[in-house]
A = this chain, B = another copy of it.
Amino acid sequence: LRDGTTGVNSKEAILATARRIAQARGYGGLNFRDIADAVGIKAASIYYHFPSKADLGAAVAQRYWQDAAAELEALSATAATPADALHRYPGIFRKALENDNRMCLASTMAAEYDDLPDAVKTQVRAFADVNVAWLSRTLSATGVADGAHRARAIFAAIAGAQLLARSRADLSLYDDLIAAYRVSGLLPA
């Protein structure tokens, strides 16, 4: 306690636990008592850190797209070429499936769109924006024409592949779908 980080640690633990649950069960699947149990506090204590479920959801989604943005920057930095970065992009969405058949947070939440508080919707949209912007930039760098439209199409198709593979709990289906996107020409070969 004397290091002064207890509060931050609880807050971070709440965020991490909530993110894990939301990627498996969506916003509606988030529940304060389960989060509190995992963190080791009581449900009422969460309200000290987040004034409502909407605020918690928005904070989780915001952190999610910020982490995604950092991951995409790292991908660009470590890739030999833009084409190499693009080739590795589907691997990011594959990792969620590898991790207990989880899904992109933006997809679990898009499915519940009607029930989402506005603050959560805003952060969910930011995730898509970050991905589409990165894809658009990287596609243009490889000389693909009409990169903006293509970027959205790729993002939507990969989200759909993740959704379908998850509903079968079948990682190899995801790989097959990505391969089919390459064969068809949607993704650069």
Contacts and interface: CB of A to CB of B under 8 A. Distances in A.
A89 B102 CA distance: 29
Contacts of A113: 101, 103, 166-167, 169
A177 B149 CA distance: 7
A168 B156 CA distance: 12
Interface stretch (A22-30, A45-53, A72-80): A22-30
A38 to B, nearest CB: 16
The SS class assigned to the A binding surface is helix
Interface string A162-181: 01101111000100110111
A146 interface: yes
Contact of A163 (B163, B177, B179): B163
Contacts of A173: 152
A153 interface: yes
B112 A184 contact: no
A167 B28 contact: no
A158 B29 CA distance: 26
Nearest to A161: B156
Contacts of A159: 160, 163-164
A24 B167 contact: no
Contact of A106 (B112, B167, B177, B185): B167
B164 A152 contact: yes
A152 B149 CA distance: 22
A107 interface: yes
A146 B183 contact: yes
A111 B160 contact: no
A127 to B, nearest CB: 9
